[in-house]
Structure formats: structure tokens, C-alpha cells
Structure 1
Amino acid sequence: MSRSTSSSTPTALVVGGTSGTGLATARLLAGRGDTVHVTGRTAARVEALAASDPGLTAHAADAADADRMAGVGDAVGTIDRLVLASSGGDGAGPLADLDLAVLRGAFEAKLWGQLTSLRTLLPRLAPDASVTFVSAISARAALPGTAGLAAVNGAIEAMVRPLAVELAPRRVNAVSPGVVDTPWWSALPEDARRAYFEQVAAALPVRRVATAEDIAETVALAATNRNLTGTVLETDGGARLVGPLG
């Protein structure tokens, strides 16, 4: 029998929860009393998380693998808060130079990962569950070199409103971060990354680059506030107010 969040300890599943925003969200929800499960793509990530965060239950599963995600659902049971934070590092670059095969991979990792996970786990969602996608500011920011990222994240955000109606009374929202200091930027050399962050911080109204913990606070709000649905919450430090950052 499905249970309500009002009568027992909520169970949260963070898909893509072994690093970055997903991990920060998992830690935050666990700290607030949820029973928290996370997924990671590799056994190595799951093993590392077991050592660093024994209070979280980790499962090795690619978000885009329906069979593996079904197994996660079987292990978790009823889900009160589903956070879809799976992502990937590809898809950026000028259109003329963009490898479309790489862009397809970016869609597979993020859009199809989040969509496949949700579709597979639908039978496990509690009647009053929340679903929170994690997209990105590129969905709406007119930044050269981000058309591929905009396509991926725009597709995710386009699902929010129709799903909020279709899945009601379950709640569906998305959180749209701007520049965040997470492992997503690890492909850049440290000095280049720090220089870019300094440039971004100087341009933003908040004068700082966000941390994963900043974004996790917004994800937790979307996941737990019972009056929010059909909404994309922008948490970009005011980037949308000042134009291109790079």
C-alpha cells in the first residue's frame, strides 16, 4: 500500500546523486530526516559514497537504463520525493563545430536519463509525491556556443507544465541553475576554471558563483513545498538580468 508523506518518514530517491548538486541535495534531505537513496552510473561512485556518506543508500544504475532503474525502484519501494539530477558534460560549443554524435550522447545522458527514470519509476511514486527535474539556465539564456545545451535543458523544462497536470496531484517542478562550482567543470584546467569563475562572479548581481549546496536548497524547496507545481525555479545568481557572462 502506498503511504503518504504526512504519516511516515518520507523516502527520497536522487537519480544522479553521487556528486555535485545531486549529492548535495541527498545530504540536505537526509539531514532533514528523509530516508534517502541515490543512484550513480558506476560501481566505483557507489562504493565511494558508501564510505563518505553511510547514511545514504546508493545504487549503481545508469539513469537511461530502464531495466536497472526498475531494479532500483524495486529496492526502494514507495518514493515520496523523486529528484532527477542526472547530467553529462557534453553538448557545448559553436554549432558549426558541434559533433552531432556527441550532442546525441548529451541528450541520452541528461534528457533521456531523466525521462527514462521518471517513466520507469512512475508506478513507485506515492499519490502525493513530488518530481523535481534539474535543468540549467542554458535553456533560456542566449549564450553563443550553448545551442546544444539549450536544446537538452529546454526539452526537460518543456515537460514540466504538462506533466504537472497529467500526474496531479503529484507535483512536478524543475530547478534551473546558472554557473555552479561542481565537477561538471572538471574538464577545464584549474587555473582556467578559477579565472572563468572570477569573471562570472564579477558580472553577477550576487557577486559569487553558486555552490552545489546553494542549488540543493532550491531543489529541496521544490521537492518539499506542497504548494509548488508546474514551475521552473531559476537559481542563477541573477545571470538572466545581466546578459552573457563569458
Structure 2
Amino acid sequence: MSNPTALVVGGTSGIGLATARQLRARGATVHIAGRDKQRLDAVATTDPDLIGHCADGGDRAAMTALATELGGIDWLVVTLAGSDGAGPIADLDLTMLRNAFEAKFWGHLTTVQAVLPHLSPTGSITLLGAVTARAGMPGTAGIAAVNGAVEALVRPLAAELAPIRVNAISPGFVDTPWWSGLPAEIKQPYFEQAAQALPARRIATAEDVAEVVALAATNPNITGTIIEADGGARLVSMP
């Protein structure tokens, strides 16, 4: 595919930004969408070759307008995330969990619907789930449900939308701004403990996961697949 166009929704930080950089390095014209203008301005400074757009993935009208503006899109990557929804089920705030579904699951689905009419018939859709969708980690039932819902879209959509390819990446522990709510004095020892439990013996970087996202987005022979890039977290009991 020559001169492909990529749209990374949630592309202003973390895995999304790292993915945008990977796709740009593969020769694509890369557009990133995010809600936070300050983050977009920061990316414009550090990565002037990425084209930023202020748009909320959960806003159908905004995403439709953006997709219409871009015209043809070859690779759609949706990396929307939220930090709500974790905690023991007995005390879980269901309003926060609904917010988590709104931000991630409904954001993914809204973006896909809005962009689909503008997606190349030989293009791809790549979604972002998480290891909680299939791991038995106490205190993650809420976010497991959110990520499980996202990942459940993959196989039926891959069959329904063919030859458009549909895949998802399921990361585990990744050192991204998602963890920014934890103070450094708590996060650092927790990561060290988690790394010792992981078969890979390390916490992933955003770039580690972005390489896998870029593979799924660009490889013409991968579809209907959830690629686990979790350092083996699903194989062991995590702290």
C-alpha cells in the first residue's frame, strides 16, 4: 500500500502516540485525534509530522466530521482508555463503571461507526483491549467487563466487514500516563513487584505495545485476532 493514511484516535499520549510514531515511520500520513488541546499542542511541538485534530472519539458528530475531512482512511487505530471501573465488586461504584464503558467501549464503537464509511475496503481497524479481559485478577471485574466488551467486537466485525481487517491488541502492565493517578512512591515498588511476577520480568513500554499495534494495523494477513502483548500476565497470579 503506497502513501497510506492512518487515523489514531486517542493518539496524544501513551500507546496511541507511540503507535502514531510507528505508523509514521512506516511511511503513512498519520492523523491523531484527542480531546485535550494541551496534549495536541505538545505533540505538535515534539512530533510536527503528526497531524493533530481536537475530537472526542465518543462524539459521533465530531468523528464523522473528522473522517469526512480526511476522506479515505486506510488504517484506523482506536486506543481510547479510561481509569474508572477498578475495585472489589462489593464496593464498586457502578456510576464510575458506566463512565468507563462510555469512555472506552462506547468510544471505540462510536469511532468505528463514524469512520467506517470512509475506510478503504483494503484497510484495517485495530482496537485496544487489555489483559483484564481474560485474566482472573481480583478487583478487576469492572474493567474486565469493559475490555472484554471491546475485544468481543473483533471476530464478528472481522467477518462482517471483510475484506476490511479487524484486530485488537491486549496489553498488560504498561508504563504509560494511565498510571499517573498513583503517586511515584507507590507506583515504583508496585511495578517492581509486578515485574518479578511476570514471565517477561519487565513492565512494558508504550513502544513495546505500539510495535504490535502497528503490526496488526498494517499486516494484510492478520484479521479477527486478539494479540496478547502482556508479558505473560495472563499466565500467572499477579499482585
TM-score, with normalisation over the residues of structure 1?
0.95
Name segments (4+ residues, structure 1) moved above 4 Å.
none
Structure 2: segments with no counterpart, 5+ residues: none
CA RMSD of aligned residues (A): 0.8
Q: Work out which of the residue numbers 124, 132, 145 in structure 2 matches 1:130.
A: 124
**Superposition pairs of residues 1-246 of structure 1, within 5 angstroms:** 6=1, 8-242=2-236, 244-246=237-239
- Consecutive unaligned residues of structure 1, counting only runs of 5 or more, are 1-5
Paired with 2:190 and 2:54, the residues of 1 have a C-alpha distance of 33
User: Corresponding residue for 1:3?
Assistant: none
Name the SS for the 2:56 alignment partner: coil
Structure 1 residues 71-108: Cα deviation after superposition (integer angstroms, max 9, x where no partner): 21122211100001011111110111111111110001
SS in structure 1 opposite 2:159?
helix
- CA deviations 1:170-198 (Å, max 9, x no partner) are 00000000000000000000011111110
How far apart, in 2, do the equivalents of 1:166 and 1:180 lie? Answer: 32
Residues of 2 paired with 1:21 and 1:124: CA distance? 24
Q: Which amino acid aligns with 1:245?
A: M
Listed one character per residue, the Cα deviations across residues 25-62 of structure 1 (whole Å, up to 9, x for unaligned) are: 00111012110001111222211211121100011111
**TM-score normalised according to structure 2 size:** 0.98
The sequence identity of aligned pairs, in percent, is: 62
- Name the aligned partner's letter for residue 118 of structure 2: R
Contact 1:199–1:245, Cα closer than 8 Å, also in 2: no
Tell me the distance in 2 between the aligned counterparts of 1:58 and 1:215.
Answer: 21
Contact residue 9 and residue 34 of structure 1 kept, 8 A:
yes
Matched position secondary structure for 1:14? strand
Shift of 1:155: 0.4
